[in-house]
Chains A and B, each alone.
Chain A
Amino acid sequence: MDNLKLHYDVNGDDFSVAGENSSKVKKMLKQLGFSPDVIRCVAIAMYEAEINMVIHANGGFIDVDISPERVKVELQDKGPGIPDIEKAMQEGYSTASNRVRELGFGAGMGLPNMKKYTDELNISTEIGKGTLVELIVNVK
């Protein structure tokens, strides 16, 4: 059986719809009969990454690749890039603006949370060009 592939564009200007794609993927995984544990891990990690794309990087696109063994999510943006990934991975580190904080985000918990809920988190980033975040959740 071929893997199921999904593609989404993420609008960077509209915070109110940020996360809708994670919502769609969550529903899809439920329909496909994945375990609640796998669904939860994918949903939380993808949502954090999708929000990051909107609040830090002006949107981009998402590719989801689903197989019975694992779910892979790739999020590519054309944002400013991450100067120091090690620092960004620390709990509490955030460059979010006050506006973002007023919206309930910007605690610097997103990347550590993505790490916690995935089996693999790969980030490649280039300053001024953008960031590619790859999340993999294995089906145990």
Chain B
Amino acid sequence: MKLSDVREILSAEVLTGEELLDKEVHSACGCDLMSDVLAFVKDRALLLTGLMNPQVIRTAEMMDIETVIFVRGKKPDEAIIGMAKMKDIIVMTTDYPLYIAAGMLYKAGLGNV
């Protein structure tokens, strides 16, 4: 599906990367543990997370993860958004909690890693 579909499904707010929402995404992973993201995620997945610090963006960069969605209404600060912007990483925030957000995307046909 397209990232614009993801935004719609999750009623997400796009914090940076608005111009990149035409991109396709084929898999996703929901995880608060960056250790596990580094160990298990295949590249170009979308990351849903409740963790909020700069290492989330850096981990995404290392793993070639192009989209990070913060769940439960968490909003990153300007520093984190600025960092993502520089690395061409799309950042969204959704009010849904991790389990629900993941379930909604899965049900809509987005596979796992």
A contact face: mostly helix, strand, loop, or mixed:
helix
* Contact residues, A9-54 vs B (CB, 8 A): 15-20, 22-23, 26, 36, 40, 43-44, 47-48, 51
With A and B bound together, what is the CA distance between A44 and B58 in angstroms? 11
What is the count of residue pairs linking A and B with beta-carbon distances less than 8 angstroms? Answer: 67
B43: chain A residues within 8 A (beta carbon): 40
A36: chain B residues within 8 A (beta carbon): 64
With A and B bound together, what is the CA distance between A15 and B55 in angstroms? 8
By the criterion CB–CB under 8 Å, are B36 and A23 in contact?
Answer: no
Total contacting residues, chain B, CB less than 8 A:
20
Q: Which of A40, A105, A113 contacts B55 (CB 8 A)?
A: A105
B36: chain A residues within 8 A (beta carbon): 107, 109
Given contacts A104-B55, A104-B56, is CB(A26)–CB(B61) below 8 Å? yes
With A and B bound together, what is the CA distance between A105 and B38 in angstroms? 10
A-B contact pairs, 17 of them (CB 8 A): A16-B53, A19-B62, A22-B62, A23-B61, A36-B64, A40-B43, A40-B64, A44-B62, A44-B63, A47-B62, A103-B51, A104-B32, A104-B56, A104-B59, A105-B55, A109-B36, A113-B38
Give residues in B with beta carbon < 8 Å to A.
32-36, 38-39, 43, 51, 53-56, 58-59, 61-64, 87
Give residues in A with beta carbon < 8 Å to B.
15-20, 22-23, 26, 36, 40, 43-44, 47-48, 51, 103-110, 112-113
